[in-house]
Structure 1
Amino acid sequence: MDPITLTSERLRLRAFVPEDEDVVLAHCQDPAIRRWTTVPDPYTREDAVFFLNRIVPDGWRDDSDYAFAVEPLDGGPLIAATGLHNRGSGVWEVGFWLAPGHRGRGYMTEVVRTAAHWAFTGLGCVRLIWRAEIGNTASRAVAERVGFTPEGVQRAGLLHNGTLRDCWIGSLLPCDFGLPSPLPYLPPREAPPAVAPRTDLPEGPGAVGPGA
Structure 2
Amino acid sequence: MQPVVIRTARLRLDLPLPGDADAVTAYCQDPIFERWLTTPWPYTREHADAFLGTYVPAGWATASELTWAIRAVEGGPLLGVVSVRETQREIGFWMGAEHRGAGRMSEAAAAVSEWVLGGGIPESATVFWRAVEGNIGSAKVARAAGFRRIEPEHATVPTRDGEGTLPAWYAVREREADPRAEASWDGILGARS
* Greater helix proportion: 2
**Equivalent residues in 2 for 1:26-37, closer than 5 Å:** 26-37=26-37
Contact 1:21 1:48 in 2 (8 A): yes
Output the CA distance in 2 between the equivalents of 1:59 and 1:161.
19
Which residue in the other structure is 2:143 paired with?
A: 144
* Deviation >6 Å, runs of 4+: none
Matched ranges for 1:73-84 at <5 A: 73=73, 76-84=76-84
Question: How much has 1:136 moved relative to structure 2?
Answer: 0.2
Using CA pairs below 8 Å that are at least 6 residues apart, which structure has the higher relative contact order? 2
Question: Is structure 2 residue 44 aligned with structure 1 residue 40?
Answer: no
Note if contact 2:12-2:74 (Cα within 8 Å) is conserved in structure 1.
no
TM-score (norm 2): 0.85
Partner of residue 109 from structure 2, selected from 107, 112, 119:
112
Deviation of 1:75 after TM superposition, in Å, equals 6.2
| 1:121-169 C-alpha deviation (Å, 9 max, x unpaired) | 2212211100000000111111111111111156462112224101111
Partner of 2:160: 161
Structure 2 unpaired stretches of 5+: 179-193
Match of 2:106, as an amino acid? Answer: T
On the 8 A contact 2:132/2:168 being kept in 1, the answer is yes
Offset at 1:12? 0.7
Shift of 1:47: 0.7
Query: Whole-Å Cα distance in 2 between the matches of residues 4 and 83 of structure 1?
Result: 12
Q: Following TM superposition, by how much is the alpha carbon of 1:39 offset from its aligned partner in structure 2, in angstroms?
A: 0.8
Q: Distance in 1 between matches of 2:159 and 2:153?
A: 14
SS in 1 for 2:69: strand
Q: 1:96 is paired with a residue of what secondary structure?
A: strand
Aligned pairs for 1:130-209 within 5 A: 130-152=129-151, 155=154, 157-162=156-161, 163-176=164-177
Letter of the structure 2 residue corresponding to residue 113 of structure 1: A
Percentage identity across aligned positions? 35
Moved more, 33-42 or 164-173: 33-42
The residue that corresponds to 2:66 in the other structure is 66
Q: Does 1:19 align with 2:16?
A: no
3-state SS of the aligned residue for 1:147? coil
RMSD: 1.7
Partner of 1:187: none
SS of the residue corresponding to residue 139 of structure 1 reads helix
Whether the aligned pair in 2 keeps the contact of 1:80 and 1:98 (CA below 8 Å) is: yes
Runs of 5+ in structure 1 lacking a partner? 178-212
Give the TM-score normalised by the residue count of structure 1. 0.77
Q: Which one-letter code corresponds to 1:3 in the other structure?
A: P
